Amino acid sequence: MKPLILVTNDDGITSKGIKVLIEEMSELGEVFVVAPDSPNSGMGHAITVASTIHIKKSPIFGSIESYECSGTPADCVKLAKHEFLKDRKIDLLVSGINHGANSSISVIYSGTMSAAIEGAIEGIPSIGFSLDDFDYNADFGHIRKYVREIAAHVLKNGLPADTALNVNFPKASAGPIKGVKVGRQTRGYWHEEFDSRVDPSGRPYFWMGGHYVNSEPKAEDTDVWALENNYVSVFPCHFDLTHYKALAEIKGLEDII
């Protein structure tokens, strides 16, 4: 029996990235798609709790059973797991391929990676794929074999419990990919800048921009270094946010009252 592969994303069901991902996963197993009906970039791990979620079957991928969802990427995973595939074992969840990298601190804000992490929460081996190219018509040709081989490896070997893989690819214009680097998340942050404006009705509003600050630009074991040096970056992430090394340092809080 073919493995069952759940595909989702955050760029929306009509994006080029998810189409490429579905084509590659179709070589490995039975594909089932639940994806947002519109772009959800930067949605993080949001879920829909204050309104209804609408979902309808989509013919966009032909014979592959596909649904577009009004909710978030995390909603899509929950619906697939607990409604559409509730009586079946999902062998692999893949999210993406995102238009734009999800390296360093961006993993916190990423709908792509939140879908993968939701899969890990549900006990499904999960991978988030992202390409360092925001162009709607980005070239995915140079990464297809890596997407397929990384997914095949996880299907065969599994992943540690509570773990999702964050996989980022350099853009095609950067030149030939040098290989795959397994590393860690880069320490960095977004320096926000807000452009203050006034709408035609005289109401003030803000447009958020900014730039990324890499706190360790020379660290060769990080995802950003790998991307900047034309490697495929792979790092494992999990949803336990406990800072274990800090536990002893804050132990004194137990004695304040």
Closest CA to 169 of 199, 189, 187, 149: 149
Please tell me what DSSP assigns to residue 183.
Answer: -
Q: Give the pLDDT score at 257.
A: 73
Could you tell me which residues are annotated as the binding site?
A: 10-11, 41, 98
What is the C-alpha to C-alpha distance for residues 151 and 175, in angstroms, rounded to an integer?
23
Q: Give the pLDDT score at 237.
A: 95
Task: State pTM to two decimals.
Answer: 0.95
Q: Give the pLDDT score at 256.
A: 83
**Sole residue written with tokens 């990427």:** 73
State pLDDT tens for residues 33-68. Answer: 999 999 898 889 999 999 999 999 999 999 999 999
pLDDT score of 188 more than 90: yes
Q: Give the pLDDT score at 209.
A: 92
In sequence order, the 6+-apart residues with CB closer than 8 A to the CB of 210 are: 190, 191, 192, 193
Could you tell me which residues are annotated as the binding site for a divalent metal cation?
A: 10-11, 41, 98
How crowded is the C-beta side of 242, counted as CA atoms within 13 Å? 6
What is the C-alpha to C-alpha distance for residues 20 and 142, in angstroms, rounded to an integer?
11
Please state, rounded to an integer, the average pLDDT across all residues of the chain. Answer: 96
What is the C-alpha to C-alpha distance for residues 221 and 111, in angstroms, rounded to an integer?
25
Q: Give the pLDDT score at 234.
A: 98
Q: Which domains does the chain have, with CATH numbers?
A: 4-187+210-241 (3.40.1210.10)
State pLDDT tens for residues 66-91. Answer: 999 999 999 999 999 999 999 999 99
The residue-averaged pLDDT of 142-155 equals 98
Whether the ω angle into residue 108 lies within 30 degrees of 0, i.e. cis, is no
